[in-house]
Amino acid sequence: MKEQLESIQTEALEKIASAAELRELQDIKVAYLGKKGSLTTVLRGMGKLSKEERPVVGEIANQVREAITEALNQKTGKLEQEAMDKQLESEAIDVTLPGRPVNVGGPHLLTSILQEIEDLFIGMGFEVREGPEVETDYFNFEALNLPKNHPARDMQDTFYLTNELLLRTHTSPVQARTMQEYGGNRAVKMICPGKVYRRDTDDATHSHQFTQVEGLYVDKDVRMSDLKGVLDKFAKKMFGEDREIRLRPSFFPFTEPSVEMDISCKVCGGDGCSVCKQSGWIEILGGGMVHPKVLEMAGYDPKVYSGFAFGMGPERIAMLKYGISDIRQFYTNDIRFLKQFHHA
């Protein structure tokens, strides 16, 4: 029996030594030390031994069990360590590798221009307001002195949603909305930036959707000279102190008199070039004195109150400021184009 035990030990230790995986060790443990394992089987036969032999064999059996258990533990530790080393090696991070550059975003040129325009007018005491892009026929046209079937409605090709609902063709409805809200007895001094829509075929200078910034100042005794002063300040701050403005007579149903404003051409300094079509001047916005009917419809007494209004296109302003020749650049999102303005 003693030899049997010794050969079990030798055999087990050899197997443990040659095991290459933790799973094998588990199998070895079961095969020798388990309930039906060889060591256990031998020990069951101890009953047949004499009284004197029993403690001797028992001691040997214990030694064998310890030797096998010890060898198993050691080998398990070794294999676990090896597995850990392997994992650490394969997952090792080279901290000296240069990092992957992350593209940092920035505001869109149009966003920056709108911000700039807002800042300039906030600096002159205007508040910034918003209005709905889905507008009623009433606010987009009627409240602006454009009754149904008025021929001037054709100036603005409209996307109609229903007979009464449309996509606003300009930000001017916010004039009427604001005056109505203010109630007819206090001054209004606001700008309204926002998206507008027209049924245009997109090309280098037309877009079915673009932005406008509306301006409105209503108070007792507001004059045309106030309009001119505010716009002159705006043009000089936006394009440079050396720029001149001029107002030309024009027509809008909601202003009387109406004007269009030009700024002197930066490229030729006023002598005439291809950018200003040889005129020395570039048109940048429309405006005028708020029509008495518009004041009246919004609840302001035109005998007491007067006002000026204007509307400009931020895309056009950005195009002039940065020499951009195609309005589609604003929404085709060519990153090479957009990136140029991130630090502007």
Query: Of the two residues 71 and 320, which places its CB atom closer to ligand PHE in the complex?
Result: 320
| Smallest distance, ligand PHE to C-beta of residue 156, A | 7
Query: Of the two residues 9 and 156, which places its CB atom closer to ligand PHE in the complex?
Result: 156
Contact range with ligand PHE by CB under 6 A, out of 15-23, 62-70, 132-140, 283-291: 283-291
d(CA 307, CA 289): 6
Contact range with ligand PHE by CB under 6 A, out of 41-49, 230-238, 270-278, 281-289: 281-289
Residues 6 or more apart whose Cβ sits within 8 Å of residue 46 = 1, 54, 57, 58, 61
d(CA 221, CA 12): 109
Query: Of the two residues 194 and 311, which places its CB atom closer to ligand PHE in the complex?
Result: 311
Query: Of the two residues 280 and 311, which places its CB atom closer to ligand PHE in the complex?
Result: 311
- 61: tokens are 């059996």
CA nearest 318: which of 170, 61, 117, 91? Answer: 117
| Smallest distance, ligand PHE to C-beta of residue 313, A | 8
Contact range with ligand PHE by CB under 6 A, out of 46-54, 262-270, 271-279, 307-315: 307-315
DSSP for residue 47:
G
CA dihedral over 160, 161, 164, 169, signed as positive or negative:
negative
Decide if residue 255 touches ligand PHE (CB under 6 A): yes
Of the candidate residues 32, 121, 210, 252, the single one contacting ligand PHE (CB under 6 A): 252
d(CA 241, CA 78): 80
Decide if residue 65 touches ligand PHE (CB under 6 A): no
Decide if residue 253 touches ligand PHE (CB under 6 A): no
Contacts with ligand PHE by CB under 6 A: the residue count is 10
Place of tokens 């184009």: 337
Between strands 127-128 and 188-197, the pairing is: parallel
Decide if residue 311 touches ligand PHE (CB under 6 A): yes
CA nearest 108: which of 267, 335, 319, 300? Answer: 335
Of the candidate residues 280, 288, 307, 314, the single one contacting ligand PHE (CB under 6 A): 288
d(CA 35, CA 88): 37
* Cα Rg of the chain, angstroms: 44
**Percent helix, strand, coil in the chain (nearest 5)?**
45, 20, 35
Decide if residue 217 touches ligand PHE (CB under 6 A): no
Of the candidate residues 287, 295, 329, 341, the single one contacting ligand PHE (CB under 6 A): 287
Decide if residue 280 touches ligand PHE (CB under 6 A): no
* Footprint of ligand PHE on 99-128 (CB under 6 A): none
CA dihedral over 150, 154, 160, 166, signed as positive or negative:
negative
CA nearest 164: which of 138, 198, 196? Answer: 138
| Smallest distance, ligand PHE to C-beta of residue 215, A | 7
| Smallest distance, ligand PHE to C-beta of residue 144, A | 8
d(CA 270, CA 282): 10
| Smallest distance, ligand PHE to C-beta of residue 159, A | 15
* Footprint of ligand PHE on 155-194 (CB under 6 A): 170, 172
> Which residues form the interface with ligand PHE (CB under 6 A)?
170, 172, 252, 255, 286-288, 309-311
